[in-house]
Copies of this chain bind each other. A is one copy, B any other.
Amino acid sequence: MITIEHIKKKLIEKGIKPTYPRVRIYQVLSDNGGHLTADFIFKEIRKDIPTASRTTVYNTLSSFVEVGLVDEILITGTEARYEIKRRNHHHFLCKKCGGIFDIDIKCPLAQGEYSRVRGHLIQEIHGYFKGICKDCLKKAELEREEHEKDDREVSE
């Protein structure tokens, strides 16, 4: 639970005027875990600011990303996800339920910031996995067992 004052300070530090919509957008990002869509944030701040526009959400997120307050994550192919910048980490996208999970693994990729590869200047490092998440695996397992039971009953 970050305080409004703390948020304001963070924005000012980065040269962003802490208007109410901007502070609220940061607060939504802070209070709802990571990997939020612009649409989720929009609906959330609409509760407080019924006149808020999608454009403001997009503009604000862009400037947050630009100054390095927020990371933009492109995994799903349909919509960008946003989360407050923290130590570099990877992600896992479940192809079944669409869930995105943080994966904290030690990886040479995520070591020194702003290094080089093959002469190219690195500014961002992204790593992610796709597959079936733990929960969906368990669910599938249970369903399989159900089917087996059904089959047994039918063949009786």
Contacts and interface: CB of A to CB of B under 8 A. Distances in A.
Secondary structure of the A contact surface, majority rule? strand
A126 B108 CA distance: 14
Interface stretch (A13-21, A30-38, A132-140): A132-140
A52 interface: no
Interface stretch (A2-10, A99-107, A146-154): A99-107
Interface string A77-99: 10010000000001010110000
A127 B109 CA distance: 9
The 8 closest A-B pairs by CB, nearest first: A119-B134, A124-B130, A123-B131, A121-B132, A127-B127, A121-B131, A122-B131, A122-B129
27 contacts: A74-B77, A77-B80, A92-B120, A92-B122, A94-B120, A95-B123, A101-B118, A101-B120, A107-B108, A107-B109, A109-B127, A117-B129, A120-B129, A120-B131, A120-B133, A121-B132, A121-B133, A121-B137, A122-B129, A123-B129, A123-B131, A123-B132, A124-B129, A124-B131, A126-B126, A126-B129, A127-B127
